[in-house]
Amino acid sequence: MFIPPGFSQKSTQTNLGYIVYYTNDRPPWKNSAGDRETLVFLHGLGGGSSAYEWSKVYPAFATQYRIIAPDMLGWGRSAHPEHDYIVEDYVTSIQKFLEHTCTEPVTVIASALTAAFTIRAAIARPELFKSLILTTAAGLNEFGKDYQENFFTKLAATPIIDRVLYNTGVATSFGIRSFLEQRQFARKDRVYPELVEAYLQSAQQPNAEYAALSFVRGDLCFDLTQYINQLTVPTALIWGQASEYTGAKVGYKLQEMNPQAIQIVYQLDDVGFTPQLELPAITIGLIRQFLPQLESNLQLKN
């Protein structure tokens, strides 16, 4: 799997298994990251997801920050336990991962459903977090939506069929490219071969279907509006206007519910579910813009 130059692979243990992560401890970054603040990049969930999702973004911060980018439990090179995952597994693993790898409150930059898990982790353990920058942060059951109420999700919940569905429709180059082009990206021409290969390698790891099918069945979805009022960590939301299942209006409604914490909502036009993959340079620029804004607001609050 792709690892940017200057980054190495490490791992830490959680109650469900080890989590692999990538950090900037090699030349040319080795001497620049030691005493810097930490940025943690967490990828979203979906067939073939991994830390690759942020790999075109996080190297841009390697001279200024210590970077940590894990493969979430059940994805990429991390452990793939034979386990039916639930929301609490990921909320807890995020907390444990930060405890094991960071000594001070950190800024977490997270995507999609993992961003929603991160909000819940920040509510439960606010002392671990300095700020949040999140793309398309939704539990997928907000404002009248029910992710489980569709034919594909119900099919994925059918024994035997679920494995066939994964092996033929998810863990193939054609299946991954089709999903990226038709549902994840706003424009097909932004899907490139290296991206498809990175997703394919992750999707074909032994037991990768357990986490992926937990997601597809809707076992990991929840209504973020039931928790958002409890968030106190300064937060910025980035939303792709062309995000298929959950549009930017979700972000604006979440901000209306808790404007004290959700201080920024920015909509990117002509972008789908993962701005960090589709327009990484623009995403880098937005993160650079939001980091000092959230820092300034935090200082004013204190």
pTM of the model: 0.93
Which run of H or of E encompasses 109?
strand 106-111
* Predicted confidence (pLDDT) at residue 299 exceeds the cutoff of 90: no
189: which DSSP letter? G
Please give the CATH superfamily to which domain 8-301 belongs.
Answer: Alpha/Beta hydrolase fold, catalytic domain (3.40.50.1820)
pLDDT category, 76, cuts 50, 70, 90?
A: very high
Contacts of 41 (CB under 8 A, 6+ apart): 51, 54, 57, 58, 67, 68, 69, 108, 109, 110
Beta carbons of 188 and 181 less than 8 angstroms apart: yes
Mean pLDDT of 65-90: 95
Rounded average pLDDT over 69-81: 96
Region 199-203: what's the mean pLDDT? Answer: 93
pLDDT at 216 over 80: yes
- For residue 151, the model assigns a pLDDT of 46
Give me the DSSP letters along 216-256. HTTTT-B-GGGTGGG--S-EEEEEETT-SSS-HHHHHHHHH
pLDDT > 70: percent of the chain: 89
299 against 69, higher pLDDT: 69
pLDDT of 154 reads 53
250-283 pLDDT, tens per residue? 999 999 999 999 999 999 999 999 999 999 999 9
User: Over 50: is that where the pLDDT of 10 sits?
Assistant: yes
In single-letter form, the type of residue at position 113 comes to L
- The yes-or-no verdict on residue 231 having pLDDT over 50 is yes
pLDDT digit string (tens) for 134-185? 999 999 888 877 655 554 555 555 555 566 677 666 778 998 998 899 889 9
Task: Pick the closest to residue 21 from 44, 49, 45, 41 (CA basis).
Answer: 41
Across residues 39-58, what is the average pLDDT? 95
Q: How far is CA 74 from CA 13, 65, 250, in A?
A: 13, 27, 27
Structural domain spans, the chain: 8-301
Indicate whether 227 pLDDT > 60: yes
